Amino acid sequence: MRKLGLRLRKGIRQLKDVLIGRTQITNKLKFYLMIGSVMSVHVLLLCIFYQFRVLPMFFFNICSIITYLTCLNLIHRGSKYYLSVYFITFVEVVLHSFAASLVVGWQYGFAQYIIAILPVGFYICYMLDINRRKIKIAVTLAFVSMFAFILCKMISFYREPLIELNNTPLELALYIFNTCCTFFFLILFTLVFVFEIRLSSNQLQHQNAILEKLASTDPLTGLYNRRSMDIFLSQAVESDVAFALIMCDIDDFKKVNDTYGHDFGDVVLKGVAKITTEQVREKGYVCRWGGEEILILLNNASEESSYRIAENIRRNVANRVFDLNEKWIHCSLTLGIALHQKREAVEDTITRADYNLYRGKRGGKNAVIL
C-alpha cells in the first residue's frame, strides 16, 4: 500500500506538471489515470452495495478493486503490458455489467459502462501506434460490447433480479450516478483524443517548418539556398516589377582558407552573410549562390537604391574585424549589380551581374560595379 501511495503521489505530481505546461502527458500516466478513475468508481460502488447489503456485488467489487491494483502493477512494469491492461479492463467491465444486471436489474444503468469502454480500444490503438491486426481486435471488441449490452437487457427482460431492493430513490440515484460516470469517461476520452490530435498536428506543422527551412536555407550561413532563390527569381519575373541582382564575392577567400583554415573561412562567411542580411532586410532576398558567392535579389530597385545598398554592404564588410582563436583579419567584398530588363531572361541578368563582379575583381577588388 505504501508503494501504491508513492505511485499515486508521483502520478499527481506528473499531472500537475502537465496542467501547468511543464511536460507532456506520458502513456504510462494516461493508463494510471484511466485505471485509477475506474477503480475509484468501484470503491464508491463497494460502499453503496455494502450500505444496502447487496453482498454478491459487494464481493464482486472487492475482486474488481484487486484486479485494478494488479493492472496498476502491470502498468508500472512497462508498456508491453498496456494492451493486456486494456483486455483485463474490458473483461472486468463486461462481467461487472452482467453481474449487476443479474443481481439488481437493468434499471440501475450498470450496463452503460459497456458503452463507456467502447472508445478506449480505438484510443489505445491510436496512442500506442498499433498495427492493422490489433485495430481489427479493437473493432471486434466493439461488436462484442454491442452484443454484451443487448444481452444484459435480455437477461433482465427474461429473469427477475436476484435481489429486489424496492427503493425508488436508490434506483434513481444509482441510475444518475452510473450515467454521469459513463458520460464522464466518454467526454474524458474524447477530450484527450482531440487534444492529442491537435498536439500531433502542431508537432507535424513544426517539423514541416523545420524541414522546409532545412530544404530552403544554407546550413552554414542561414541564407537562402540556390533552390529557394530560383523560386524567388521566378516570382520576381512573373510579377513584372523592376528588380536588381547583386552578385557578391569575398576577395581572396581561398587564401583565407589556406592560411587560417576552413574554420576561419566559415567565420568569415557567416559574418558576411549577417552583414548582407542586415542591409537587405525586407527589401529582397539573400542567397548563398555557391562557395563564397552571394546573390542578392532586390525588389522595386533602381540604380541608385541598389548601388547604395551594395556600397553599404561593401563598406561594412571592409570595416569588420573577423576573429577566431585570437587571430583576426580584415576582408573585402566585390559586388556586381545588374538591373533586370523587361523581356530579358533572368539567366542573362545573372550573367551581367557576374560580369560586373569580375570587372570589379580585375579593377582591384573591394568595389561595387554597376
Listed as own residue / partner, the contacts of 185-188 with beta carbons closer than 8 Å and 24 or more positions apart are 185/37, 185/116, 185/117, 186/115, 186/116, 186/119, 188/37
CATH numbers and ranges of domains, the chain: 2-214 (no CATH), 226-369 (3.30.70.270)
Give yes or no for a contact between 96 and 60, defined as CB atoms under 8 angstroms apart. Answer: yes
Cα 68 to Cα 18: distance, rounded to the nearest angstrom: 24
| Bridge pairing between strands 321-324 and 327-330 | antiparallel
pLDDT at residue 123 above 80? no
> Over the chain, what is the mean pLDDT?
86
Q: How far is CA 187 from CA 25, 26, 27, 200, 318, in A?
A: 18, 19, 18, 20, 66
Mean pLDDT of 213-222: 85
Residues 6+ apart with CB under 8 A from 223: 217, 273, 276, 277, 286, 287, 288, 294
Selection from 244, 236, 354 nearest residue 304 by Cα: 244
Annotate 161-181 with DSSP letters as a single string.
Answer: -SS----HHHHHHHHHHHHHH
pLDDT at residue 193 above 50? yes
pLDDT tier, 140 (very low <50, low <70, confident <90, very high otherwise):
confident
pLDDT tier, 326 (very low <50, low <70, confident <90, very high otherwise):
confident
pLDDT in tens, 70-103: 999 998 888 888 888 888 999 999 999 999 999 9
| The pLDDT of residue 40 | 92
Q: How far is CA 231 from CA 39, 54, 228, 297, 299, in A?
A: 60, 76, 5, 11, 14
| The pLDDT of residue 194 | 81
| The pLDDT of residue 167 | 86
| The pLDDT of residue 33 | 85
User: Given phi > 0 = left and psi -120 to 50 = alpha, else beta, which region is 240?
Assistant: left
Residues 6+ apart with CB under 8 A from 31: 75, 82, 85
pLDDT tier, 11 (very low <50, low <70, confident <90, very high otherwise):
low
Cα 229 to Cα 232: distance, rounded to the nearest angstrom: 5
pLDDT at residue 1 above 80? no
Mean pLDDT of 225-233: 91
- Please give the positions annotated as active site: 292
Residues 6+ apart with CB under 8 A from 169: none
The rounded percent of the chain whose pLDDT value lies above 70 is 91
Which grid cell sits at 27? Answer: 502513456
User: Burial of 21 by CB count in 10 Å (0-12 exposed, 13-18 middle, 19+ buried)?
Assistant: exposed
pLDDT in tens, 31-76: 888 888 899 999 999 999 999 999 999 999 999 999 999 999 998 8
Cα 7 to Cα 14: distance, rounded to the nearest angstrom: 10
Mean pLDDT of 17-22: 43
| The pLDDT of residue 246 | 95
Selection from 294, 208, 204, 185 nearest residue 248 by Cα: 294
| The pLDDT of residue 130 | 60
pLDDT tier, 165 (very low <50, low <70, confident <90, very high otherwise):
confident
Lowest mean pLDDT among 6-10, 214-218, 349-353: 6-10
pLDDT at residue 20 above 90? no
pLDDT tier, 241 (very low <50, low <70, confident <90, very high otherwise):
confident
pLDDT tier, 124 (very low <50, low <70, confident <90, very high otherwise):
confident
Q: What DSSP element (H or E) covers 207?
A: helix 168-216
pLDDT tier, 139 (very low <50, low <70, confident <90, very high otherwise):
confident
Please tell me what DSSP assigns to residue 92: H
The rounded percent of the chain whose pLDDT value lies above 90 is 45
Selection from 64, 153, 59 nearest residue 115 by Cα: 153
pTM listed for this prediction: 0.60
Cα 66 to Cα 60: distance, rounded to the nearest angstrom: 10
pLDDT in tens, 271-313: 999 999 999 988 999 999 988 899 999 998 889 999 999 999 9
Give yes or no for a contact between 123 and 27, defined as CB atoms under 8 angstroms apart. Answer: no
| The pLDDT of residue 260 | 87
| The pLDDT of residue 280 | 92
Question: 3-state DSSP: the chain helix, strand, coil percent, rounded to 5?
Answer: 70, 10, 20
| The pLDDT of residue 94 | 92
Which grid cell sits at 84? Answer: 493486456
